[in-house]
Amino acid sequence: MHDLIIQNVAFSYGKTPVLNNVNLTVRPGDVSLLGPNGSGKSTLMKLILGILKPQKGSITLGGDETSRLSSRELAGRVAYVPQTNTSPFGYTGLEMVMMGRSVHRGIFARYTKEDEEIALHAMERLGVADLRERIFTRLSGGQRQLLILARAIAQGARLLILDEPVTGLDYGNQLRLLERIYELAGEGYTFIKSTHFPDHSLLISGRAVMLKDGVLFADGGAQEVITPENIKTMYDVDIRIADMEGGLRMCVPSFLGR
């Protein structure tokens, strides 16, 4: 079992409450975490990653309370993909992906042939094996993001936390990244990704979770949760939901008038 269970979690920065009694159970698949700036999305992700500890409630993963796991144990189960990826060193694509194996070997330990094979397999799954000898800093944002996702896969984690993963990517790279997330979610990986694009949730997510002012106010299938009423509550804008070919739906701003 790889279920993530968040029970009655609350967190404050000083006297400022950020999350209030959040309850959430996440199973394999893709979950979009939606909410305006300051809604508590980033804090919730930091709590799942173990960067912060719940001040109230608990977070368990596979039956184990995450606060009782060592950093290395948690890193073997949960991986983080940030929204921007830079490096001051001229690492190759393969070297960047192999860094995911450090949780199993230690930071200064030598990587093994097995580590290299695992890293190459992850790169092949993400369609970036051709970047193995390329210098990471000279790649496009989309290529770097796919390599960091490959690093998370090589890490061995089954739960992946993505912080606004399409930020700064052109349209083509956005779709390529979303396609890979969709495929991996179908293979049993669990994705929790924060996003400011409800349409991306409608496109690939089986589930959408909405936060506002630290409170979880909507949770369910993306098609049912992303409604004009909920978007109005979150962002104070008016939209309508348009039905497209193939059963797809998308948000259309009301100011377009059609």
- pLDDT digits over 56-74, tens only? 999 999 889 998 888 888 9
Q: Once rounded to an integer, what is the mean pLDDT over residues 112-120?
A: 93
More reliable by pLDDT, 94 or 246 = 94
Domain extents in the chain: 1-77+159-226, 88-156
Measured distance CA(141)–CA(83) in Å, rounded: 10
Measured distance CA(189)–CA(122) in Å, rounded: 13
- pLDDT digits over 83-100, tens only? 766 665 789 999 999 999
Is residue 214 within 8 A of residue 44, CB to CB? The reply is: no
Q: Once rounded to an integer, what is the mean pLDDT over residues 166-194?
A: 91
Ranges 95-109, 201-215, 237-251: which has the least confidence: 95-109
Is residue 154 within 8 A of residue 130, CB to CB? The reply is: no
The whole-chain average pLDDT of the chain stands at 90
Q: Once rounded to an integer, what is the mean pLDDT over residues 176-194?
A: 93
- Would you state the pLDDT for residue 111? 83
- Would you state the pLDDT for residue 229? 96
Taking 70 as the threshold, does the pLDDT of residue 257 lie above it? no
Measured distance CA(100)–CA(150) in Å, rounded: 9
Q: What percent of the chain has pLDDT over 70?
A: 95
- Would you state the pLDDT for residue 85? 66
pTM: 0.90
- pLDDT digits over 149-158, tens only? 999 999 999 9
Q: What percent of the chain has pLDDT over 90?
A: 71
Measured distance CA(112)–CA(210) in Å, rounded: 43
Q: Once rounded to an integer, what is the mean pLDDT over residues 52-59?
A: 94
CA atoms in the 13 A half-sphere facing the CB of 219: 10
- Would you state the pLDDT for residue 71? 86
More reliable by pLDDT, 76 or 150 = 150
Report the 3 state secondary structure along the chain. Answer: CCCEEEEEEEEEECCEEEEEEEEEEECCEEEEEECCCCCCHHHHHHHHHCCCCCCEEEEEECCEEHHHCCHHHHHCCEEEECCCCCCCCCCEHHHHHHHHHHHHHCCCCCCCHHHHHHHHHHHHHCCCHHHCCCEHHHCCHHHHHHHHHHHHHHCCCCEEEEECCCCCCCHHHHHHHHHHHHHHHHCCCEEEEEECCHHHHHHHCCEEEEEECCEEEEEEEHHHHCCHHHHHHHHCCCEEEEECHHHCEEEEEHHHCC
Place 106 in a pLDDT band, splitting at 50, 70 and 90.
low
Choose the CATH number for 1-77+159-226 among 3.40.50.150, 3.55.10.10, 1.10.357.10, 3.40.50.300.
3.40.50.300
Taking 70 as the threshold, does the pLDDT of residue 171 lie above it? yes
- Would you state the pLDDT for residue 107? 64
- Would you state the pLDDT for residue 234? 93
- Would you state the pLDDT for residue 87? 64
Place 238 in a pLDDT band, splitting at 50, 70 and 90.
very high
Q: What one-letter code names the amino acid at 241?
A: I
**What residues does 249 pair with on adjacent strands?**
243
Nearest to 252 by CA among 226, 217, 234: 226
Nearest to 231 by CA among 256, 257, 202: 202
Measured distance CA(29)–CA(188) in Å, rounded: 6
The two structure tokens encoding residue 224: 């049912």
Q: Give 76's contacts (C-beta < 8 A, 6+ positions apart).
A: 103, 104, 155, 156, 157
